[in-house]
Chains A and B, each alone.
Chain A
Amino acid sequence: MTETPPLSLKVPQPQCRPGDLPDFSGFEVPAAGSVRRPSVDEKPEVIRDLAFTIIRVLDDEGEAQGEWAGSLTDDEIAQGLRDMVTLRIYDSRMMTAQRQGKTSFYMQHLGEEAISCAFQRALQKGDMNFPTYRQAGLLIASDYPLETMMCQIYSNEADPLHGRQLPVMYSSKEYGFFTISGNLATQYIQAVGWSMASAIKGDTKIAASWIGDGSTSENDFHAALVFASTYSAPVVMNVVNNQWAISTFQGIARGGAHTFAARGHGFGIPALRVDGNDYLAVHAAAKWAAERARRNLGPTLIEHVTYRAGGHSTSDDPSAYRPKTESEAWPLGDPIERLKQHLIRKGIWSEERHKQAQAEITDMVIDCQKRAEAIGTLNSGHVPSPRDMFEDVYAEMPPHLVQQRHEVGY
C-alpha cells in the first residue's frame, strides 16, 4: 500500500467578503443571442450544453438578439416593464412600512423583479405556481389586487389569510398562487404532484415550482426531480440562483457541480440556464418550458441567474458578510434599467415617459396603501379577532378547540 498524506476538510469560500473588492472576473457572461433555441421536443441528452451557458436576449445596448428573442409584442414588453416597476415601488413602500412598525417583517425582490414578473406572463389561467417568498411578481403580473397584498402584509381585518401568516406568505388559488410555506423547499415536490394530478385527470393545466439556490440542498428538491423525471410530470421547475442564501454563498449548495441547472441532468431532465435580469430571456425560457409541459413532453429545470441586491429580509444586514458594492459590480445589471433601454431603443419609450410611468405607479401604490392602512395595520389594533385563531385548524371545529376558544372569551 502506498502512503498518502493526511486528509483535510475542504470548505468552499466565496470570492469576496466585506472589505474586499467585488470580483466577478470568473463569472462568464455569454453574448446576448449566442445560445441556440432548440425545438421543445429535443432529446435532453443533446441539449446538455444549455445548462452550462446563460441564455440572454438583451445586449448592452438594449437590443434583443438571437433565437430566444421575439416571444412578446411591444405592448406586452411595456406591460412587463410596468409590472417590474410596480413590484419595486411596492417593495420600497412595504420596506418603509415595516421600518415604521406597521408590520413585523418584509422581504423585497430588489434586482430579481424580472423573474417572477416575466415567468407569470408565460403561464395560462388555471396553471399553478408553488412559489417561495420572493416571487410576488407572479401576483402582480396576474393583476392580483395590490391592496389585498398590503392587507396581508399588515395582517389587518381584510387580510384574506386572517392574520395567521407571516407577511409576504400570500395565497390565492384563483390567481394560481399556492399558499407559501415559511419552511424552505417543501413545496417543490408538491408542484410535481399537482401537475401529476392534472395529467391523471386528463386536464390541460401545468404547474411551476420555485426554489432558491440554497434550498436546492433540501431533500424535497431531489425528491421533486426524481418524481418529475419518473412520471414525466408537466411541471416547470425553477431555481432562482440569487448568489446568496442569507450569508451563505451559492457555492455551498452547488458544491462541485458547475451550475444548478446541471442538477437536472442526473435525472434526465432538460435544463436551461437563463439570465434572470433579462425580462425577455426569462419570458422566452419560461414559454419554452411551459410549452414542453403543456405538450406532455415532461419537466424542465430552469436556473435563473440573478443577484439579491437587498438583504434576505428586514431582519438581515448583508454588509456583515459581503462587500457593500458587490451588487453594483454584478455583471448582469438591473432588470428594470435593461428593459427600459430596450423599449427606448425600439422607439416606444423614453426617459420622460418612464418618469411619468413611475410617478403614476407610485400614486397608484400610495392610493392602495392608504386604503389598506385605513382598514388597519399590525400595530393599529385592527387585526383579525383571536376568535379566528381557532378556525380552519380542521374543517369542523372539534370540541377541545371550542372549549379553548371559550377560554379566550369567544
Chain B
Amino acid sequence: MTQMTMIAAIQNAHDVAMERDEDVVVFGEDVGYFGGVFRCTAGLQQKYGSARCFDAPISELGIVGAGIGMAAYGLKPVVEVQFADYMYPAYDQIVSEAARLRYRSAGDFTCPIVIRMPTGGGIWGAQTHSQSPEALFTHVAGLKTVIPSNPQDAKGLLLAAIADPDPVIFLEPKRLYNGPFDGHHDRPIQPWKKHPMGDVDPDYYEVPLGKAAVARKGQDLSIISYGTMVHVAIAAAAETGIDAEVIDLRTLIPLDTETVMASVQKTGRCLVLHEATLTSGFGAELAAQIQQDCFYHLEAPVLRVAGWDTPYPHAQEWAYFPGPDRVGRNMKKLMEA
C-alpha cells in the first residue's frame, strides 16, 4: 500500500488505466502539459504522449461532445471539466447524447465515457466554484453518477467507471482532495496520510459501482450521505455522542438500496445529508425510497439536511455549508422525535 492524497489516487488511477489499455485517452482544459489545475492528470502527457493526454480548448460542450465521438469510435475517453460549475455548456451533450446513444441505437452505438469534475464547496469559491450538481445527473436516465469520499475509493471507483460500458459522471469533492475535511473550517487541515483510507494499492483494482460502504457503524440513527458530508457526519456523531451509522453511498445511480434500507431498518431513524441545495436534491429521492421501504421501521420522519436553496455565497460560506453543528442539531432533533 502507498499513502496517497485523493489527487494522487486519481492521478494514479489514470496512470494504471492508460498503462493497461491503449484505448484510454485523457483530455480537458489544462490537463496536458500542466497536469490539470488540481494536478489530477500530472505527468500523463509526458508518459503517454500528447495524442493520449492533451489540452482542450475552453469548451465544455466540445470536450464532452468530442469525448462522445471518441467513445462511439471505441476509445475510452476520460475527460475533465475543470469545475462542475462549468458543466452547463456540456449539459445537452451529456443529457441528450451520452446518456441515450445506447437506447436510441438499440445498442448499435454506445458511450463508455467518464466525465470527471471537481464538485462542492468549502474553498471560498463562491457561486461558480462550489456547486454540487449531482441531482442534475441522477435525474437523467442512462447516466451513472459516482462521488467518492476518500483516496482508496476514488481510485477503485474511477477504474470501475473507466471499465464500465456506459457513461459515468465522476464527481470529485474538491475539499477532500488534500485531506478528510469534517466541516471544521477553523481547525488545522488534516492530511490523508493520517487516515486509513489514504492507504492505496498502487496496482489495478476496482471498487464496484452501485455498492455503498458503511463508513461508521452505529445503532441510534442512520445518516445517508456521500462525498465531503460523510466526514462531517462522522464528526457530528463523535461530537453529539449519538451512535450514528454513517452510510457512504459512493455511487448515487445505481443506488445500493440494500445497504441503505438494512441500516435504516436497524436504527429506525434516518437523516439524509448532502451539500447540494435541499429542494429537488438527491436527498429527496433517498427520502422517498426510504419511507417506502422502511415505513414500518421508522420511529420518526426522515429528516433532510442540505445546503440552503440559495446560490453558493462567498462571505457566508460557513453559514451555507451544512457543517457538524447543523448536522448535530438535527441528529438531536431526530432522536427526540
Contacts and interface: CB of A to CB of B under 8 A. Distances in A.
Given A183-B128, A217-B58, A321-B33, A393 B310 contact: yes
Nearest to A320: B34
Contact of A166 (B59, B62, B125, B278): B125
Given A165-B126, A165-B127, A182-B126, A218 B58 contact: yes
Nearest to B29: A248
A383 interface: yes
A297 B50 CA distance: 45
A247 B55 contact: yes
A408 B316 CA distance: 11
Nearest to B90: A219
Given A166-B129, A218-B58, A390 B311 contact: no
A183 B59 CA distance: 11
A404 B309 contact: yes
Contact of A248 (B55, B85, B86): B55
Nearest to B54: A11
Contacts of A248: 29-30, 32, 34, 55, 58
13 contacts: A11-B51, A163-B313, A165-B127, A219-B61, A378-B124, A383-B315, A388-B316, A389-B308, A389-B310, A390-B310, A393-B311, A400-B279, A408-B319
A187 interface: no
B50 A378 contact: no
Most buried by A among B51, B89, B310: B310
A246 B315 contact: no
**B-side interface mostly:** loop
A155 B316 CA distance: 9
Interface in B38-61: 50-51, 54-61
B91 to A, nearest CB: 12
A164 interface: yes
B265 to A, nearest CB: 29
Contacts of A184: 58, 86
A18 to B, nearest CB: 10
Contacts of A386: 316, 319-320
Given A155-B315, A219-B89, A166 B51 contact: no
B314 interface: yes
A389 B33 contact: no
B37 interface: yes
A104 B124 contact: yes
A384 B318 CA distance: 12
Interface in A134-185: 155-156, 159, 162-167, 169, 181-185
